[in-house]
Amino acid sequence: MKTLTTILPTCAASVSLLLAAGAALAQTTPTSSAHRPAPPPKSATVPRPSLDASLHALQASFAKAHEMGISVSCAILDVRGDLVAFARMDDASFLTVSLAEGKALASAMFGLPSRDLGRMAASPLFASINASVQDRMVPAQGALPVLRDHRVIGAIGCSGGAPPQDEAAAEAGLGALRDAVGH
């Protein structure tokens, strides 16, 4: 049976050996930038409304909703359906969160107002695309595509009022986005 007096010197010798090997390796490892691997390439930029323009759009949408006496949630997405900006008015229902985003997603994916997608919702094409985004698209009135140079760069969707009120709030936000991105 080994005693503590025989184990400790053996452990200390092992640690000393590891430290010496590490120091030797550190001295032989090149530190110049010529030997460092190149950073990964940046991914391509996705066309989208800017955050600043999107925040102004949310304010415009909320002002319109307040004028109509309703509380809404509004989402602004890029062309891929990724969230750029989102806000929910104080008295808006929690259900409006996913509905606003789903309407905007449908509008961004198809480049059409979400009100025009209702009749398309039963088609195999819509079902396939919706399945690819985990059934998050909502083909109901309340979202509009955002265009730059006649190309879809995203969408704004609102929820919380009647469908025409949701679209009116989205239209107010879209007006602010158009001013910022150039229709």
Residue 16 lies inside a defined structural domain of this protein:
no
* Cα–Cα distance for residue pair 13/100, rounded to 1 Å: 66
Which whole number is the average pLDDT over 138-166?
96
Encoded tokens for 163: 């469908």
The domain in which residue 68 lies consists of 51-181
DSSP, res 97: H
Classify residue 14: in a domain, yes or no.
Answer: no
Q: What is the DSSP letter of 134?
A: T
169 vs 6: CA distance, rounded Å: 80
* Within a domain: 24: no
CATH number at residue 80: 3.30.450.150
| Residue 144 falls inside a structural domain | yes
Number of H helices, E strands in the chain: 5, 4
Q: Does a structural domain hold residue 37?
A: no
> What is d(CA 70, CA 55) in angstroms, rounded to the nearest whole number?
19
Number of structural domains in the chain: 1
pTM of the model: 0.75
CB of 104 closer than 8 Å to CB of 128: no
Q: Write down the pLDDT at residue 77.
A: 98
Up-side HSE of residue 50: CA atoms within 13 Å toward CB?
A: 9
Task: Examine residue 99 and state whether it is found in any structural domain, yes or no.
Answer: yes
pLDDT attached to residue 40: 77
Q: Would you state the pLDDT for residue 4?
A: 46
Digit-coded pLDDT (tens) for 27-71: 554 555 567 888 877 777 888 999 999 999 999 999 999 999 999
Query: Does 154 have pLDDT greater than 80?
Result: yes
**How far is residue 118's CA from residue 81's CA, in Å, rounded to a whole number?**
19
Say how far apart CA 81 and CA 157 lie, in whole Å. Answer: 12
**Residue 46: inside a domain, yes or no?**
no
Asked if the structure places residue 160 within a domain, the reply is: yes
Mean pLDDT lowest among 16-25, 107-116, 127-136? 16-25
Lowest mean pLDDT among 10-14, 139-143, 166-170, 179-183: 10-14
